[in-house]
Amino acid sequence: MNKEEKFEFDIANLKQDLAIEDMKVTEEDVALLRRYFENEITMPEMIDIIKRTIN
């Protein structure tokens, strides 16, 4: 399984797990996770982006 397939597999599992909790994963969420997965942003940067979108 290549890196992209693993990412898509992990996202599918995440969506399924969150659906059980009645939570939805948006395309924006996936895009942010993809940026982290591809080392475009760090974990602290991702957390900061999430915090700004909540407030």
Q: What is the pLDDT of residue 47?
A: 94
Higher pLDDT, 38 or 5: 38
Question: How far is it, in rounded angstroms, from Cα 50 to Cα 52?
Answer: 5
Q: What is the pLDDT of residue 1?
A: 75
Domain boundaries, position 44: 3-54
What does pTM read for this prediction?
Answer: 0.70
How many domains does one find in the chain? 1
Question: What is the DSSP secondary structure assignment for residue 11, as one 8-state letter?
Answer: H
Q: What is the pLDDT of residue 42?
A: 97
CA 5 from chain center: how many Å? 15
pLDDT digits (tens, 9 = 90+) for 2-32: 877 888 878 888 888 888 889 888 889 999 9
| Of 28, 18, 35, 34, the residue nearest 54 (C-alpha) | 28
Q: What is the pLDDT of residue 46?
A: 94
